[in-house]
Chain A
């Protein structure tokens, strides 16, 4: 008996000590629902899927359409896509748009009393910086050393190097947005490590030079044509033209001659011409048979879904008595309208003369006594999720309309403005032809028509600003244009509720630049707030 007990004890203790000493090793668990970067970048197809993200981050808010797994944290995901935020910052702050909603901070745009804590500005800033971070990572992963290490060579490697150039372009575009809106963003490149130290701040002129250098560096190797939705040589020129047009705002030094040069390079390409009917520009099938678009954000009602971009524009513009089915949507969100300043740019509001005037006035007041009432201010009908043949887009919840970031008409307008500002006679003559193409299309659905054409004496800088309003309204240009024309904060040009006053008022000059969001000021001690905030 005793002996058996002793044996039992020894056995139990032995078993115990085996258990005790095992399993203190790090088990190195890996997620089953994700993949590592080595897997992703092991094949050219993997690179292409990451490239899809580098581009897709313009259109989508995250990894799950329409929402549920967002890229940018700290803002409602539906608000967090690039173009919706960019549109609000560029349009709601101007004479072109007011919004009825009460979301925190949204009325600050039109009232021009935004602060460094504005959630929409914060969201836009983080969206831009996020896209830059994605580009940096892609460029890093596409280095020759990485390609060689992964055994990718030949045409596969050439393709990936081309993808990387496009990532450089997209990064330059996002830096342009940041420079234009926020002035002095933090500066990160492919040499900045993930999880690294807080990056330094770059001044507006440093960013200007960086964008210029980057674009000129990739320009020689960019293809003349590319897949739909991807960057080519023309869009590099187009961004350079836009950059130079506003150079004086960014650096204090004008570059109108360069703006002229680069817009002309695009205009002279045989690939691009005006779409014959202005009202076809923002339709569900604007991606087909459209020679005007240089670079687009691509949306799809079934496969590229979210609550931003043209889905926002098609829904938010519909309210009041507007029949939503005319807009290819299940129902409107009753949000955005125009001020009378935009309406009054046109000879009439119903578009019978200048067909670019796409307003809905039934049940709507031209005057705005209350910005949060949808029926005050004319509604805009520019974006419609229906096709040219009148049939609906694929979905009534999400739009098929692709959003052009660059289209030929803007190049005509840049050329004309630069010609006037450099005051070179032959260029002004050219400019008149280009502008009259826009006028012919606007009045007669035919760019070669003389209807609506203007004379050379009518072609003035003020006319260009108005013409930009008529041609490019609600496409995200207005704030930049008004700043360049010194009409954004100044009291020389007023619109209803500018600065929060019903008749409009001038505001402090520092508001011409948005503030660096306080969240990043706080996270990154290298950043200095823009003056005034």
Chain B
């Protein structure tokens, strides 16, 4: 789909809906909207309650003017970050003051299937709106709130263009199943599973379109999403039209990205000295005469531009917002880039005398990505600095490579390949299109206005296709066919996802004054279908393969023409290296749910909430497919009690208690419960007699699979002092997961896989979250917001196996470079998830590690794997976020800080490259390595040194994520316009003892991590 088609497909429904008609106007009301300090608030939406389509927004000094019809009675003022206010119309002037929602309890918080006022919340929910978003060059939505929310840890997965983040809410509840939270965008729970050809599914969402995040953390808030809620829920709401004349917003952000820190490797002279002193004459002779900084050769400053234009207003009585975005980001690793074209349309018509509200949201994006070969990151560290980038006459496109006259390819086997060659010779491009949209009807029943009927139809469709091309002259793919007669890569892939959603619910809310109570009940149904199509080889109509295993076409059974076979692996000349054994693949799963919620409020002070969800998932057999997920919570608004009502110091105090059960079924296979056979591919056939047969293999399965369940206890206190200038909350939680969807060892001989997924094991997360928001200064000219959040989380595995054998060490995990199949982590009962599992290093009197000498911890006379011990874990025990925002007259500025404490990292780059064996490789080539080798003098012989706890480093850090300054020039160009200019720096500095490049690597194993760039950002926003 081209951009034009995309616009067209969105534009047609827009035009259709524009045809609703409005009516005449007859008087004008003017006024000014100010905050509590008397400062004008720009961009406040002003609408007429009786005519939802009629509206305007305030200018930069807060002034507005609106024409209303004769029957208009009330004006509605709303703005993100301020409490909504309704003001009766009297006369032709209305000056209004709005309360900031940082302290406002009437602010509306979006929860599953509805909204609730903040003061009526019983669960642990954090709302972050646009004014609190992180500033700077932000490509993917989740980075807007990194460090802003207690209990939410957002770790970017690296510096590649558009790369995603690992999001953990309260530590994550699973071991082998998914730990990702559920993300709901405008009412559509989206597929977080990614699509072929994109680094990150969320990278398809333009952050500029987002108005707010609501993060649901405890079970009483999330249980309405039942089966998918164990890891928390993030509800993203996009911006919408506010009515009035068209208001245009244009923003451009231009960024220069730089490499903040290079890996510390031997310089050419150090390298020469090292090889001279440690190598044999033959090895010394391998050195060249060049002085190459390979990291300089693969990294470069990169430019990024992000431009957005949006228009919002109302056409007659149809509020709308339309936005277009164009982002172009180059990676600091050469050749990588991302271009994103995005568009979004929202329409919010109100029909039938305000009885029927319709929300239409359409978002689309086209991402064109070129993936740099990230193998170059490691090879730039390892490549011999005495060798040149290019050598004349070399057959591998002129790039220097390690050669071996005895090998068939002419290349030295297992030697690193020239990193510049890897980058320049590989063209790995993808086009991914994704659209998410929904139409939601909210109908207030005519004869019973307290009853709402809500129907939501949504979709999330994407299509990813791409090609990988490597010329046959490139070293990485030279003569790569098994018979060495064909080389290069020319592969194509295609995947489509079609996810559809139907949800409908009834809501009944009523104040029953006679018993001083309010009830609010919701009941609904949800159906969501996830369908993926992987285009593999095609099949004929009767289901028989087109292609025989040897690659020839089985003409006898073909009915129909031969078609594209995109998932096969081909060389440049079209020689088939491998293709999937099955003609096509359409994995599908469905979730079918019923849910209900009941809120009861007594005297506005005592609030009870109960929810229940019945989820049914096709990932389980029929007998197990239904799960019930209840929750209950209680809140007590202590502030409204007589003893606090008149307190001037305490402006808010609320106690929340909740318990709920949530489930998990993501992160496991779709058909793990079914007995099934699969056929082997062309390279895995077996010869019987003179024929080769593809093999039919039975798959391991577990017919008894069922839901993983997490029970969450939460106790929280919301507080506010001094007119809420100091406010926040503290929450204590305990999450207990049982029936973990855990990949466990089957008793040998009882299944077709020695490890299958089963519901076994228990895990706990317990923690404390504290949020403090303050406004130390608030007056006419200056306002200063200062906020701080801290989270303590402790994770412990409490059961892993059927039997609790104390001798069972646990399940090894965390693959590392160094030895094939080596792991550095373990999941063990009584320890945190992914604890490092290492030997205890012995040091000499100077504190230097002695190579190969480890503590015989069990004193049995030999050092073997029984002496491995669990030492620290990659997850921080405490993580903190802090922000400061100051505005002074037309200036504003701020920064965000983030810190992790108690997180440890395995420095795999040190262990893998910082040894003599790596630098002077016995296979007959040289490689550079970490300067750590000069400290340890390790040779790299033996099979244990890389499992030393010496390489486990404290990676606690304090990082300034961004700092920014802006100047709001106001209406410099003409009246009713607004211009803001800002500069920002991202990834400003990091304070850490960790000796590698970056202390923050999700998973705790640092090896060839794509460095996060430091960004210098200039932004201009222009409203007119």
Contact = CB atoms under 8 A, between A and B. Distances in A.
Nearest to B753: A73
Given A102-B946, A304-B684, A519-B745, 15 more contacts: A9-B445, A16-B453, A20-B504, A35-B678, A78-B820, A104-B823, A105-B865, A186-B749, A227-B688, A303-B692, A330-B413, A331-B404, A372-B941, A521-B808, A523-B748
Interface residues of B, number: 117
B412 A60 contact: no
Contacts of B744: 523
A19 B755 contact: no
Contacts of B446: 5-6, 8-9
Q: DSSP majority for the A interface?
A: loop
B822 interface: yes
A215 B687 CA distance: 24
24 contacts: A37-B677, A48-B693, A49-B679, A51-B693, A52-B688, A79-B820, A104-B944, A113-B862, A115-B866, A126-B754, A186-B747, A192-B749, A229-B686, A300-B685, A305-B683, A306-B684, A325-B406, A331-B412, A331-B414, A332-B413, A370-B941, A373-B941, A396-B407, A519-B745
B685 A137 contact: no
B818 A56 contact: no
Interface string B442-459: 010111000001010000
Interface centre among B582, B681, B698, B862 (most CB of A within 10 A): B698
B705 to A, nearest CB: 11
Nearest to B684: A65
A49 B616 CA distance: 36
Interface string B812-832: 100000111111000000000
A189 B674 CA distance: 22
B409 A74 contact: no
A397 interface: yes
Given A132-B749, A325-B407, A375-B922, A522 B805 contact: yes
Nearest to A116: B807
A394 B482 CA distance: 7
A113 B867 CA distance: 12
Given A9-B447, A103-B819, A103-B821, A305 B587 contact: no
A26 B625 contact: yes
Contacts of B406: 323-326, 331
B818 A102 contact: yes
A24 interface: yes
B807 A334 contact: no
B618 interface: yes
A103 B822 CA distance: 6
Interface string B735-752: 000000001111111111
A19 B923 contact: no
Nearest to A65: B683
A514 interface: no
Given A6-B446, A63-B681, A302-B482, A374 B922 contact: yes
A501 to B, nearest CB: 11
Contacts of A115: 864-866
A342 B682 CA distance: 39
Q: DSSP majority for the B interface?
A: loop
Interface of A: 5-6, 8-9, 12-13, 16, 19-20, 23-24, 26-37, 39-40, 46, 48-53, 55-56, 59-60, 62-66, 71-76, 78-79, 100-108, 111, 113-115, 117-119, 125-126, 129-130, 132-134, 136-137, 185-188, 192-199, 227-230, 298, 300-306, 319, 323-326, 330-334, 370, 372-375, 392, 394-398, 500, 518-525
Contact of B527 (A23, A186, A519): A23
Nearest to B414: A331
Interface centre among A29, A60, A373, A518 (most CB of B within 10 A): A29
B809 A518 contact: yes
Contacts of A73: 743, 753-755
B13 interface: no
Contacts of B699: 34
B404 A20 contact: no
A304 B747 contact: no
A499 B376 CA distance: 42
A68 B586 CA distance: 20
Interface stretch (B24-32, B588-596, B709-717, B870-878): B588-596
Nearest to A141: B698
B695 to A, nearest CB: 4
Nearest to A78: B820
B445 A71 contact: no
A23 B592 contact: yes
Ranked 6 nearest A-B pairs via Cβ: A331-B413, A65-B683, A76-B821, A56-B686, A227-B689, A65-B684
A32 B823 CA distance: 34
Interface in B453-469: 453, 455
A125 B748 contact: yes
A9 to B, nearest CB: 5
Contacts of B805: 521-522
Contact of B821 (A31, A79, A298, A396): A79
A523 B804 CA distance: 10
Contacts of A62: 680, 684, 697
Contacts of A105: 865, 943
B533 to A, nearest CB: 9
Contacts of B589: 29
A453 B588 CA distance: 70
B514 interface: no
